[in-house]
Structures are given as structure tokens and as C-alpha cells.
Structure 1
Amino acid sequence: MSSSMRMWGSALRFRCAVLLLRPVTPQTRTAPLGRVQVGSGPRRWLRVTAGPLPKSGHHLTACAPFTTPVRRFGNRASGAGFSGEDGGDEAGSGAEESGGDGGSAYSGPQMTALTPMIVPEVFPNVPLIAVSRNPVFPRFIKIIEVKNKDLMELLRRKVRLAQPYAGVFMKRDDSNESDVVESLDAIYSTGTFVQIHEMQDLGDKLRMIVMGHRRIRINRQLDADPEEVPPEWSESEQEPRPKPAIRPKSSRRHQLEDKLSVADLSPELRPLPSSNILMVEVDNVQHEQFTVTEEVKALTAEIVKTIRDIIALNPLYRESVLQMMQAGQRVVDNPIYLSDMGAALTGAESHELQDVLEETNIPKRLYKALSLLKKEYELSKLQQRLGREVEEKIKQTHRKYLLQEQLKIIKKELGLEKDDKEAIEEKFRERLKDRSVPQNILEVINEELTKLALLDNHSSEFNVTRNYLDWLTSMPWGTNSEENLALDRAREVLEEDHYGMEDVKKRILEFIAVSQLRGSTQGKILCFYGPPGVGKTSIARSIAKALNRQYFRFSVGGMTDVAEIKGHRRTYVGAMPGKIIQCLKKTKTENPLVLIDEVDKIGRGYQGDPSSALLELLDPEQNANFLDHYLDVPVDLSKVLFICTANVTDTIPEPLRDRMEMINVSGYVAQEKLAIAERYLVPQLRSLCGLTQEKASISPEALSLLIRQYCRESGVRNLQKQVEKVFRKVAFSIVSGHQSAVTVTPDNLQEFVGKPLFTVDRMYDVTPPGVVMGLAWTAMGGSTLFIETCLRRPAGGGGAKDEGSLEITGQLGDVMKESAKIAWTFSRSFLMKEEPDNNFLLNSHLHLHVPEGATPKDGPSAGCTIVTALLSLATNRSVRQNVAMTGEVSLTGKILPVGGIKEKTIAARRAGVTCMILPAENRKDFSDLPDYISEGLEVHFVDHYSQIYPIVFTPDPSSPAFSN
């Protein structure tokens, strides 16, 4: 007992996660003394170490069962007892179960500390406990928690029956958290026979300290636990146990305890039925006989050396080995124990540890344990190296910081360098030295500089203030670029980059003339609108070049956050000014040219309406004191020239459109496209593809065919793509060696761009009765639009009340449907005046259709065309060929003005129209057209439909035409 007590004293001093005790020896075996149960009171362990207990899953190295160095309650042989540790009303009852007789009721977890007993050599039926990650090796202790209710009840019963033994087997799937399994295939067949040393009942789980004794292998599953009673005769003892003394029935409480004791030992107490495997039949695993050869000695010595190397690298293993040496165990003399200890010390994978546990050949087991130790050693070396590198890096960084701080102090003392705050203030004041900063802004800057001097360098407010001062001092206060006020130079620059666009060029030249007369520049807000690809964005860059102004562009298409224009509040993290303030900082002038692109596609979201924020920006009366949310000081934008671009004006809010001067940039006709291609696109794209004029050229006839059959849109963007495609294929042909020089002509054009997209200029070469050509325009440009009518059902069958009907198809909008109904009503009235005997429109059921039904159509400009189609169908007369018309018709027949005259005229010329009918109020729009667009056209301006009827239904036209 003295050696065990000394060993326990060493364990109390051991503060690591590993508890080392003496191995099993015959001298340390003791007779079975039963069990001790502590009832009431807080959670408490009877046997503890000086340090914290290891967590579940960690191994505890230990010896065979030992004598618990605490007060032993009761003596089975004599029947004498001690009073309960928690107090009681009777001092020693001579009971077998002693302690806590008169304590309070159950108020916490119960702990059962089992006294040492002889472990049977053969114990075939054991409860099955499934564990994850780490197996239990013989002679090692482990804490195991059981949460399955059936297994908990079984283990409680086994402990009450003085059979505190179980089989611990490792699961094949580490992710499975259950304590039990439903199939033996889920666990490894080889495990460890363990003895439960202490068990703490926490209600919903059992926490046990178990120690492994030997390796076992599963034979089969047991369906039910056979009836068991407390054995009166031990297999390892030669004499029967003395029967317990009979307790006198001294009180009602003692009677109740007797009943409970009998119930505890009742054989009818069984585990609840379950599909889980709770009991198994096992056999002991015997290792193969071996002799201590030179190989075994070498492996043993190498394992000991590796353990020493690991201890030298990782101090966590040092205490465990020292405790083992203090216990007087020579590890080298026991290869079996050494192999198990070597494997248990490592953090290897679960299958590798299980492999060591299953190995019965001792030399092979030593070799496998040595392999795991070597891996652990390499891992420890890697950890040590990483730790050294991190520590060295931290030391260098700290040393560098200290030297820099010392250097700053030395330079400051010598006057060679100023403080950070002084350097920042000097930098900001240097920026403002040659600028005309307004007085109110200068006061704000001085206040912020004073505030900056009082702030700590490492505070967040310091960085916010410094960034704010950086923006304030970076603004171009009073700095303007010198403008070019020479008209000839400006005209030359504008003509150099763009063809046509006379309205835009004329407006810019007027702006320069006004600035020249005033002797100073001014801001202006212009808006270029027109179809895509006509050069709205590129002309803005040319205007900036012609005026010698800095150019800045930003797009508002899809913008939903008002802070993009007005800036963020400085209180937000990462706040910054809006686009306009960023523009001024980047251009470094107060009079740049700012292009706001795609203003018709601006969005609206929960962050605000950006189009409303543009109202202040684009208002000439307000932008002289534009207030950005970030700067929070007024900024003068009156000298900025704003140019906006849009495809349509309908989606631009009316207040915003009112603040801008709208300039229409219409599409190009074929002649303009040809000139643009010859002057700009062909030379530019040929050079971009690395070709010269000698190697690649496109004839004017090929360009005309390309424009007519491939590129009918209003802009030249698609034409640019097609010309680039031609030159790419030419470059490939030259590099491949097929040709040395290529000239593209109408004959070989299809080899480069494929088959034509447009082969027919118009749908009807000869229009039948009921079909009339109209004119329409969209954001993509103008186009011809045929109106078709036919008889759906003749008059009759409805009696006098049958007034006929009109069905409308072609994906028409509400405005166009209303225009068709108005035209139908007017045509019936007009026909009654012209041909009183013709009742076709009064009683017939008609169908009106506009081709290209997949394209939505809307607008009132097809009114006169619909009237003409209905009259043509009613009189069964075809209208005059090559005539097209546009104009809104009222209920009384008046022809109202429409828009898009230039686009519609271009579309009419492209379709081969020779006669056009336009509203009289659109005469001014037609007169502004270039001669190459209007020449050769017979144009009639009308203000009532009665003027259209004799023109379109005259076989040989003789009415005078208006010629510009």
C-alpha cells in the first residue's frame, strides 16, 4: 500500500493531460471491496489530480486498478460503518453501503467510485461502447461519455452487479457521434477490454474513467443480456464471500432503503428493447510469441530515441515520460507496453492507431508505432520551425518599429524632420499657396487643421479629418484652363473628326463666339439626342479638344444611388464625394467639359432618385453654389460645360429636360455613311489591323453595297464592325500566304461578310387596293411601314342594325388603336361625301393589320395612312405607286404635325419613294434638311385629308410638288 500511496502522491503533482501510474504487478492486486456511492451534494470527484482532468478522447496512461487514497466507507467483513461524509442522523449503521445515510435528498449528479478488484482473465459478455477518433490502448486511461439511454441503463446495472467491465471499439466513420451502433460492420472488430474506475451520472449522460486491460475481438452479437445476479463466489477467489450483515428494521427509512436495494439486485431489471447493439461476445486476442532479437532491441531503442526527440521539441510530452520514470518502469524491457505507449502519444489518424491495436506480431507493432512516432516528430519539427519564423518576424517588425520611432525622435531633436502632423499641415497649406480660395472655404480649412492638430495620430477621427482636408485642398479653387476662342481653329478640329452633324457644330461655334465677345467663358448645359452609333459621345470629346478644355465622362445609365452624384456623408465608413467633385479633382480646373452619358436610362432605387439630384447640378441658376454631401461647402460649377446624351427624350423627366438645350443628332443616309466610311472608318480600321493601302483596299461600290445590304441602321457602329471584319479576313488571307494584296469589290464582298441581310428594299413593289405605305421612326432611325386592310365579312345578315366592325392586329399600342378608330370613323364620313352610293365602310366587317407583328408600334402619325388604306379598300382602287405619307388625322380630317421628319425622309429615299405627303406644319422641318436628302423628292404639304385624296388616287399625278 505504501508504494501505491507514493504513486498517488506523484499523480497529484502531475498537472498535464496524461496521468501515469504504476503498471500491473501481483503485489498491487487487492481483494474486492465492493463500491462506494456518494448521494447528495454538489458535483464532486473522490479521486482527482492536482491539474485539470483531460478531455474526452485523450488518453490517460495508468497502471492496473489501485487503492483509492480517500476515506473508505464501510467494511463488508465486519459490518462496521462510518457516518456519512455529508452528515446524518445515525452514526454508523453497520450497513454494507455506508456514507450519506442521513444526508439530504438527491440534488445533483451522482458519482460512483469503484474500489479495486481483480480483473477476470476471461469475461466473454461485455457491453459495447463505440468511440471515435482514438482507440483505448491497454494500460491507458480514457474519459468516455455515454449519452445513449439504453447503454446508460445497461452500464448502471452492470456497475450495480459489481461487473464494471465493457468493450471499447472504434467506429469506422469518425463523423458518427453515436455511442452505439446498429451493425457490427460500423465498428472495427478488435477493441479493448476496459474496467470502469469511476462513473459520474449527470442525468442525460454518463461520464466514466475507464482503463484498458487487454485486446479483445468480437465473436458475435448478443440479442439480450442474460439474467445476472451478484455473484456469491468469485472465480478468482478460493473462499465464498461473507454474507452481508442484516440491517435491523430500525426505522421506516431503513425499510425503504432495503426495498430499493432489493430492487437494485432484482434479476427482472433489463435494458430497454432497442435495435442498437448493446452486448457482444468477445474473445481475448493473444499476441504472437516473440524473442527479444537484435531487431526488437533496435526498434525499441529507436522508439525511445524518437520519444526523447519529440520531448525535446514539444514540452507537452516531457511530464508524462518523467512520471513514467519516477514509477520505476523500464520501458525498454517491455516492448509490448512501449509500442502501445508510442502509438498513444501520437496524434495519428484513427485507422493508423487501429492498425497498431490490431497487430499481434510484436516486432511489426513496434515498427508501426515507430512510423507514427516519426511522423509526429516531423510534425513537431515543422511546428517548431513555423513558431521560430513567426517569432523572428515579430521580433524584426518590433525592432524596426522601435528604430523608426527612435529615428523620428532624433531627427526631430536635430530639426531635420518635422512631426507627422506638422508635415501634413505644411503639405495642405502648400497646395493652397497659389490658389484663390474663397474666404468661407479657407475658414473651414483652418478649423479642420486646428482640429487635426489636437487629434491622436492613431484615432479613426484623425484619418477622417485628414481625408476631408485632402479633398478640400485638392479642389482647383480659382484654376481655369485657357480656352481656345478662335473660330477657325475650333471649326477645323470639329471637321477633322466628324462628318455632318451641322447643328451640333454650329451650336459650339456660337458658344465660342459669345465667349469671345464677352471676354470670358461660361458654362452651358446641352443635350444631344438621337439613335445609337451617330457619334453623340465622340463629338463631345472633339468639342473639348476644340475648346481646349479638360474632358471628363461618366455614365448614369442604370444609376440608382443619389450619392453617386451628391456624395456620401462623412460619418460613413469609406465615404467619398460625388462624381462631379471627383471630376474637378481629376481635371484640376474649374471649367472642364463634363459628359453625362445615357441620361435617358437613369434609374431610381431606395437610395433616392438620381435624376432629381441632377436638377441642382444642371440648373444654371443653382450650380454656382453646388453643395456636395461630403465636402459640405459650396462649389462653383457655373463655368463647367455640361453635355448630356440620350437616345430618346420621352424617358427624361420634364423638369430635367427643361434645364437642357436639346439638340437632335439624327441618323445618316447612305451618302453620309459612304463619306464617313471613306474618310474615317476605312483608314482607321486598316491601320488598326496592321495593313496598308497597297495591301488592302475597298472600292466605293463595295462600300455602297455593304451599306445598302448589310448596314441599314441610322448609325455607323454596325458599319464599323463590318469594315473591321473585312480587314480581319484580308489580314488572315495575306498572312496565310494565299494572297499578297486584296481589293474588295462587289463581286467578292460576300466572301468577307457573308450573305446579304437585306435583299428587298420594300415589301410591295406594286401596292394592291387596301395597302398604303406609311412612314415611322424610332430611336434606331426611320423606316417604312405598310398598312394592310381587307374584308373580313361582307355586309348583310345583321339587318338594319349591322353597322360593320374593324379588327386591329399587329401589336399596336393604345394611341395607335385610337388613331385607327378615328381614321375608321372619318373614312366612313368622308366616303359618304365623295361617293354617297358606296356603303362598303358602313356595313362591312374589316380587318386592319400592320406587318412585322413582333415589333411593338405606337403613335398617332399613321392616321392619314389608315384613312387612305380604308378608302382604297372601299373603292377597290390602288393608290399611286411610290408614294408614302405621315401625319396625324383628327376626327374632322385635319392633318396634324408629327416628329422625326428627317428620319422618315431618309427611310423614304432608302425605299425608293418619289412622292411624300407631310403635314403643312412640318414644312419648316423639311426645309432644314440637306439638299442631298431632299432633292429629287415630290413633297406635298397638306393640312386636311381632302387635299390627300386627289393626290393618291390620281393615276397620272399632275399636282404641283413642293421642292426645297
Structure 2
Amino acid sequence: MAKKNNEYGIYPVIPLRNTLVVPNTITPLLVGRGASIKAADSALIEDKKIICITQKSNSDFEADPKAKFLYRTGTLCTILQVLKLPDGTMRLLVEGEQRILIERFYRNKEYLSAYFQRNDKVLTKNKVEVEALLRSFKKIFIQYINLNKSLPEEAMVPFGDTSKPVEFFYFALANIQIDIRKKQRIFEIDDLYESLNSIYKVVNEEVEILKLEHKIDVKVKSRLNKVQKEYYLNEQLKQINKELGVTKEEKADLIDFQKKVKETNLSEEAKKKAEDELKRFSRMNPYSPEYSVVHTYLSWILELPWDEPELRDFKLKSAQEILDKDHYGLEKVKERILEYLAVVKLANKVKGQIMCFVGPPGVGKTSLGKSIARAMDRKFVRLSLGGVRDEAEIRGHRRTYIGALPGVIIQSMKKAGTRNPLIMMDEVDKMSMDFRGDPSAALLEVLDPEQNNSFRDHYLDFNYDLSQVIFITTANTLNSIPRPLLDRMEVIEIPGYTAFEKVNIANKHLIPKVMKEHDLEGKIKLDFQDNSIKKIIELYTREAGVRELERQISKILRKVVKKFVEGKSKNHEKISNKQLEEYLGVPKHLYSEVNRKDAVGVVTGLAWTSFGGETLQIEVVKMKGEGKLKLTGQLGEVMQESAQAAFSYARLHSKEFGLKEDFYKKCDLHLHIPEGAIPKDGPSAGVTIVTAIISILSDKKVKHNLAMTGEITLTGNVLPIGGLAEKLIAAKRAKLENIIIPKQNEPNLTEVNDVIKKGLNIILVDRVEEVLKNALIG
């Protein structure tokens, strides 16, 4: 039980890590150990008295230190404030009252206690000696506080109120920043004079160290001030270098640039620009922000290709062999490319029309560009314009902007390293515009053979000749390309592939490519038997190109390899039609989903999408009503107008088709195009819609093995449509035999591959009457 006096007694103990609490000071403590928290709680219940003892250094990480790891000299304290934190720890504010000596430690189940005797410091010297030492110590301590920036100004406040030597000693001991073991040794000295003398020596040493630190700090700062005097020092260095004949390291770039400007075959305008910038560069300090800007600008000028390229002759026969090797089919496209190459070969220049390959994804537009570059032995550079909406991405940023760079055209020229590369601009139809400008307008100069010999990039700010560059663009559709830009290009349409062509492409190109990409050549053999490739095309892909087909072949290959690695098959696997479902799952697409029976009000149309041709089922039903026409299936405005035109045509010619003149007063029509989640638009479904309406009103069936496409007018004329090749491919894929198309599209038929037309009965019509005659039964 604790004794109720300060001379001796038993009180709870809080061991302190790396902290010394001394008398006459108020110290905050963070108590986290369980035993210490319980000791504090016990003290708070009694008279708030607690013993604070410092741990020895080798016990810093003890959770509950033993008595042998604690010093014997400590301080009896009073707890002034308590704050219990959410994490279970406790903040104490304690005031040191007197120095004590621990006689014995006691340990119970919860915390450590100790029996102590009061142990004040004694004075053995006379007052005069102590006063002399105290004055000297105060002077050196003032220096210490002034030099030690980590001590707050508030540390000086109690100093003025301290008159007694023992009070000042404890004040100084609490505020000096030295090793805890040194502090404890000084604290344990019984004689006050010796204590003052010891702390005086320690503080004196610390002052000398702090003075040295301050001296070093001043030297470092004086060196940093050199940057502020850079102009003066640079002028001095120039004179010194001039006298010594020594070249500064910082000017090595200048000499290198000067040499390159003389050696590089720059244009007159570029040379003048480079020389002007070199003059500025020579006067600049390397530490100036403008230095790196000019350095980057000069680097760009000198790294661009300037020399006249060596004209390499190429054989047209070799070019054709490369095109045939890299691409199956596309005969008309290859023929046009060879015509272009023949002109380039004979004229020895590339000035002429810019080619634009237009077609669905995956038909080989980009790879055709690579083949042309290989045939002509030119560097190939591809840049994607998809999503570009800032004119500066084409022409570059002006150098007034931070981090400015040239546009993609100049960057492509630097990448190519020659003045006559082949630059392929992919996805030219995917550009957009906003408040920053219209990038398609910037391309007008690039793609115009009459202007691109003086292309001006905003960053370079001088003309650069692009006339020897072969530009080829690609697009999925022409609708979004601005007319002025389209006018500068010759459009070469690349239709989708037929099933026959896809089978050949798979056998000759895709399977070897997939084997090579997976590094499986010679390690495993894959044979597709019977018509398994054709089945993959019909049941597992729905595309104009061959990308999805390649993915499906890769999927089969991975599963075959897995079986081989697991020891379930040999390294030679034969893929039959029966195994396709095992490897690829349930068929995803059924192209035979078109109507296979003659029916009233159901007609098969042909549509064009960016992914190729598609068949379109149009259904019309008749109900009692007031002559309303209901349209569903996410039809666009143009398609809705076609439906209205077809309905009006039916009303106007009701007698000719045996319809009651007042049919529109007694019935409503509901026209629906399935797959309602997919938006549909365009005028080419006009003949299909009018056929379906006349069929339902006249109760005549429509032939099931027939598809049609064409725009109609109110007077019954059938107008031409686009995407003819893709639509014929879709009809062939759906195994439809008879196809009705506008007569005005007859010239386009000559451009359609004979393989596509083979087996199709193409019916040319000028009028709606001809359509109905060929479509309706009876």
C-alpha cells in the first residue's frame, strides 16, 4: 500500500523508453504498454503519485521490462492530466517533484511498484564557486539555445525565472538534446556542483558542434548563391576560357549543333532558322529554362531526313508476287495498286492521287499498305488517326506552349529516317473536331500533291517537303469523311470476303500465322478436315473480314495444345466437323435464319453495315383500325420516311394491285424489323418495305428464296444503292438464289468479283411493279 509522504514509500512505476523526467518540469507521456496503463490507473485511484524510471538502452523493445533493465535513480511525479485514446493508449501530463532512489522493486500481476527514498542533490562547494559556475553555464546555455534551431523560442521563457542552481540544472537537463545515457549519468550525480560542471562540459561540446554545423551551412549557401550571380560568372568564365583556349563542357552541344548545321543538307529556310536559333543558343546559360527548349528544337531540325533519297528500282512482277503472297483474292484492288506502281516506276515520282482503302474491319487494308511498301522497298510508317480531334496533333504545337512538339506527320518522317517513306494513315474516318480545331482540315494540305511540297508544321515554323512521301489512308466508311478531304483521295473499295475466299485465306495465311505466333511450328500439327473451316466461318463468325476467324482458329489451337501437354492426345490433331462444338462450343450464328417458306408480309432485304453485308427480315401484319402505320425495330428517320413513302405508294396504286381503295380507313399496319436492340437506317430498304406492305394487303405470298435492295420514290422508281458487293456476299452466305437490285447499279456489277456472283440470279429493275412481279406469288 502506498505511503502518504514524499520522503519514502511505495508507488506504481512507469518505465520510460528514451525519455528522462526530472524534477521541476512538466512532461507529456504517451503510455501504451498494458502494465504501464494499469500502473497509471492505480495512481489515479490513490493520490496521483507515480514513479517515472528510464529503461536501459538494451531493453528498449521489452514489452514489460524486468527490474534489472531499469535505472535506480528516477523521479517521483504527480499526474496532472489524463486523456484516454480510442486505440487503448493513454496520454499523461506529469510534473516531476523530487529526485528519488529506488531501494527495491515489487511486481504484482498487473504492474510494477517500487519502494523509494528521497535523494535530493547536495551542495559541497561554497556559494561563491557555485555562483561562478552557474553564470558561466548560463552564458553557454544561451548560446546553445540560439544555435539549436530545433528548440522552440518558448524554451527560453522559464529560463529568466530560474534563480536557484538546482532548478536551473533540472531545466537545462530537460532541454538539452543529447544521448539518454549521458543524461541519466549526469542525473545520477549526487553533488550539485559536480552535476553543473558535467552538464556545462556537455553543453560546451554541443555548442562547438553546432557552430561547426552552422559554418558548414553558411558555406553551402554561399555556393548556392552562385546560381544567382550566373550572368556575372558566365562573363568571367568566357574571358578565362578565351585566355586559356579551353572549351567549356557546357558549350559542347553548341559545337556539335554548329557542325551538324554545316554538314546537313538543310533547305534555305530551315538553315536560316537553325542559324538564328544557334546564335540564341550560344548566348544562353545552361541553367536557363529556355536552354532546353532551343536544344530540343535544334535536335528536331537536325534529326529530320534532309538528303535526297536514293531511287530504288523495283520490278512490277516482283510487286505482284508480294501482293499475291500476302493477300488472297482482291484481284481488282491488286490491279489498281499495280497500275499505280507502274506509273510511279515509269515517271520516277509519286506525285498523283492519294489512295484510300475503304472496307469493313479485318479485310486487310493495313496489311496491303505494308505489302506496297515492301514491294517498293520503302520504309513503312503507320499512324492511327482514330479519335484525333485536335488540329495541333497533325500540325504540331507552337513553341510558345510548354512541352510543345511537332505533329504526327513530322514525327513520322523522323521515325522513317528518309524523305520517301510510305505513311499509312489508319482510321481517317474516325477523326472528330472540337473547339481546338478540325484535324481533317489540316490533312487537306498533307494529302494534296499540289501543296504538300511546302507543308508547314507549327512547331518547326518553316516549309518541309512531303512530295516524295506515298500517303495511303484507310477507312471503314466514307460517310464521316469531309467532302474536301475525300476529293483529294481515290477511293478503292475492299469488299468482304466470300466463304470460299475465307477458307483459302485460313489455309494459306491464318493457320501458318497462328502456329508461328504461338511458336508451335514443328512441335504440333493441326489438320482441318472436310469442310470444318467452312463450318467455323458459317456457324462461329459473322464478319466481312477474317479477324474473328483467326481468333477461333487460335482458340482451337490452344485447346489442342492443352490436351497434348496433358497427355490426352498426340501432337498431330485432325479437326473434323463433329469436334468443332467440343472446341468452340455451341454455334453462335446461324446464317440460315432467313425465312425458308413462302409467306405473306415477310420479305428478306439486304443491308450494309461497317462490318459488311447483312440480311434483313421485314415483317408486316394487318389489324383492324383507322389506317395507322406503326413502325418498330429502332428504325432511323430515313428508314421511317421510306416506310411512309411505301405506304403512300400502296394507297396511290391500290387498284393496280387489287386492293380496296378505302383499305387504309379500315385497317392498321404494323411494320417490324427484328433485332430491335440494333439501330437501323438508310433508304435501301424501300423496295423491301413496299413489297411487304403490298403482300399483306393483297394477301399474296412472297418467294422465300429471294432478297432485294433498292430505294424507292413516290412515283415507283427504284434508285441505286451502295455496298452492292457486301450485300451480294450476305445473300450468298444466306444461300439465297434470286437477288433484286436497281438497274442503275448494273455498272457496279462489273466491279464485283465473279466468285461472288457465281450461283446468283441477279434481277435488275427500274420500277416497283417489276419488283412485285418477281417477288409475289399469284
Provide the secondary structure at the position in 2 that maps to 1:790. Answer: strand
Are 1:689 and 2:574 matched, yes or no? Answer: no
CA distance 1:767–1:481, shift in 2 (3 Å): farther
Distance 1:838 1:292 in 2: 125
Alignment partner of 1:698 out of 527, 531, 540: 527
Structure 2 partner of 1:520: 349
Q: 1:805-833 deviations in whole A, cap 9, x for unaligned?
A: 21111110111111001101112333312
Q: 1:851-879 deviations in whole A, cap 9, x for unaligned?
A: 11111011111111111111111221211
Alignment partner of 1:653 out of 470, 482, 485: 482
Structure 1 partner of 2:464: 635
Are 1:559 and 2:388 matched, yes or no? Answer: yes
Are 1:764 and 2:764 matched, yes or no? Answer: no
Are 1:510 and 2:347 matched, yes or no? Answer: no
Distance 1:545 1:768 in 2: 54
Q: 1:719-744 deviations in whole A, cap 9, x for unaligned?
A: 11111111111111111222222222
Alignment partner of 2:561 out of 718, 724, 731: 731
Matched to 1:676, the amino acid is: I
Distance 1:524 1:949 in 2: 44
CA contact 1:861–1:888 (8 Å) conserved in 2 = yes
State how 1:50-129 maps to structure 2 within 5 Å: none
Alignment partner of 1:833 out of 641, 656, 672: 656
| Ranges in structure 2 where 5+ consecutive residues have no aligned partner | 1-5, 7-18, 32-43, 51-74, 83-92, 105-115, 122-139, 190-198, 228-234
Indicate the structure whose relative CO is greater, using CA pairs within 8 Å and at least 6 residues apart: 2
Provide the secondary structure at the position in 2 that maps to 1:929. Answer: coil
State how 1:185-204 maps to structure 2 within 5 Å: none
Distance 1:718 1:312 in 2: 80
CA contact 2:629–2:670 (8 Å) conserved in 1 = yes
Structure 2 partner of 1:433: 263
CA distance 1:524–1:591, shift in 2 (3 Å): farther
Structure 2 partner of 1:891: 714
When structure 1 is superposed on structure 2, of 547-556 and 841-850 the one drifting more is 841-850
Provide the secondary structure at the position in 1 that maps to 2:429. Answer: helix
State how 1:37-436 maps to structure 2 within 5 Å: 139-140=24-25, 216=78, 290=101, 316=148, 342-343=173-174, 345=176, 421=251, 424-430=254-260, 432-433=262-263, 435=265
Structure 2 partner of 1:929: 752
Distance 2:282 2:96 in 1: 81
Q: TM-score, normalised by structure 2?
A: 0.73
Distance 1:290 1:453 in 2: 77
Alignment partner of 2:688 out of 865, 871, 893: 865
Greater per-residue helix proportion: 2
Matched to 2:366, the amino acid is: T
Structure 2 partner of 1:907: 730
CA distance 1:314–1:510, shift in 2 (3 Å): farther
Distance 1:783 1:854 in 2: 15
CA contact 2:99–2:118 (8 Å) conserved in 1 = no
The share of aligned pairs that are identical, in percent, is: 38
Are 1:669 and 2:492 matched, yes or no? Answer: no
Provide the secondary structure at the position in 2 that maps to 1:572. Answer: coil
CA contact 2:620–2:670 (8 Å) conserved in 1 = yes
Structure 2 partner of 1:48: none
Are 1:539 and 2:368 matched, yes or no? Answer: yes
Matched to 1:847, the amino acid is: H
CA contact 2:594–2:615 (8 Å) conserved in 1 = no
Q: 1:437-462 deviations in whole A, cap 9, x for unaligned?
A: 33333333333333433444443444
State the 1:635 CA deviation.
1.0
State the 1:468 CA deviation.
2.4
Q: 1:374-430 deviations in whole A, cap 9, x for unaligned?
A: xx99xx9xx99xx89x99x989x99xx9xxx99999998887867754763454433
CA contact 2:510–2:550 (8 Å) conserved in 1 = yes
Distance 1:791 1:585 in 2: 67
Q: 1:588-615 deviations in whole A, cap 9, x for unaligned?
A: 2221111112111112233222122112
CA contact 1:523–1:640 (8 Å) conserved in 2 = no
When structure 1 is superposed on structure 2, of 623-632 and 493-502 the one drifting more is 493-502
State the 1:564 CA deviation.
1.3
Q: 1:617-670 deviations in whole A, cap 9, x for unaligned?
A: 222222111111111111111221111111111111122112221111211111
Distance 1:286 1:462 in 2: 66
CA distance 1:497–1:878, shift in 2 (3 Å): same
Structure 2 partner of 1:50: none
- How many pairs are equivalent? 647
Alignment partner of 2:292 out of 458, 463, 475: 463
CA contact 1:485–1:515 (8 Å) conserved in 2 = no
CA contact 2:100–2:120 (8 Å) conserved in 1 = no
Matched to 2:326, the amino acid is: D
Provide the secondary structure at the position in 1 that maps to 2:260. Answer: helix
Distance 1:578 1:770 in 2: 57
CA distance 1:459–1:821, shift in 2 (3 Å): same
Distance 2:80 2:260 in 1: 88
Alignment partner of 1:740 out of 570, 577, 602: 570
Q: TM-score, normalised by structure 1?
A: 0.59
Are 1:624 and 2:453 matched, yes or no? Answer: yes
Structure 1 partner of 2:272: 443
| Ranges in structure 1 where 5+ consecutive residues have no aligned partner | 1-120, 122-133, 141-167, 174-185, 193-212, 221-281, 301-307, 350-355, 357-361, 364-372, 795-801, 956-964
RMSD over aligned CA atoms reads 4.9
Matched to 1:902, the amino acid is: A
CA distance 1:692–1:621, shift in 2 (3 Å): closer
Distance 2:150 2:614 in 1: 92
Provide the secondary structure at the position in 2 that maps to 1:749. Answer: helix
Provide the secondary structure at the position in 2 that maps to 1:835. Answer: coil
Q: 1:532-590 deviations in whole A, cap 9, x for unaligned?
A: 11111222122111111111122121122221111111222222211111222221222
Distance 1:894 1:877 in 2: 22
Provide the secondary structure at the position in 2 that maps to 1:948. Answer: helix
State the 1:940 CA deviation.
0.7
CA contact 2:598–2:702 (8 Å) conserved in 1 = yes
State the 1:886 CA deviation.
0.6
Matched to 2:583, the amino acid is: F
CA contact 1:135–1:191 (8 Å) conserved in 2 = no
CA distance 1:493–1:484, shift in 2 (3 Å): farther
CA contact 2:687–2:711 (8 Å) conserved in 1 = yes
When structure 1 is superposed on structure 2, of 893-902 and 679-688 the one drifting more is 679-688
Provide the secondary structure at the position in 1 that maps to 2:655. Answer: helix
CA contact 2:357–2:491 (8 Å) conserved in 1 = yes
State the 1:346 CA deviation.
5.6
State the 1:338 CA deviation.
7.2
CA contact 2:270–2:462 (8 Å) conserved in 1 = yes
State the 1:943 CA deviation.
0.4
CA distance 1:681–1:406, shift in 2 (3 Å): farther
Structure 1 partner of 2:542: 712
